[in-house]
Amino acid sequence: DSDRGFYIPITEYGRLDADYWNNNPDVLERARAEVERVCKHNYQIFEPTAIERK
């Protein structure tokens, strides 16, 4: 959960993954850095086109 800063499993199937991610802060930090580096940048580029297609 990005508001809380850690992963919360929704089902038992996700518990192992959530535990792994929560116990390895470097994995979490790397994922956040990728969002900053890739997602936000590309959102600004593609936002006008995406809005027109609605």
| 38-50 tens-digit pLDDT | 777 777 777 777 7
Rounded to an integer, the average pLDDT of 22-46 is 80
The closest alpha carbon to 4, from 30, 37, 28, belongs to 28
Say what the pLDDT of residue 14 is: 92
The domain containing residue 45 runs over which residues? 12-52
Look at residue 23 in the predicted model and tell me its pLDDT. 92
* Number of folded domains that form the chain: 1
Nearest to 24 by CA among 7, 39, 11, 9: 7
16 pLDDT band, cuts 50/70/90, is very high
Centre a 10 Å sphere on the Cβ of residue 27 and count the other Cβ atoms it contains: 13
What is the rounded CA–CA span in Å between residue 46 and residue 31? 21
Other Cβ atoms closer than 10 A to 21? 16
Residue 31: name the closest of 46, 20, 16 by CA. Answer: 20
Share of the chain above pLDDT 70, in %: 85
pTM of this structure: 0.50
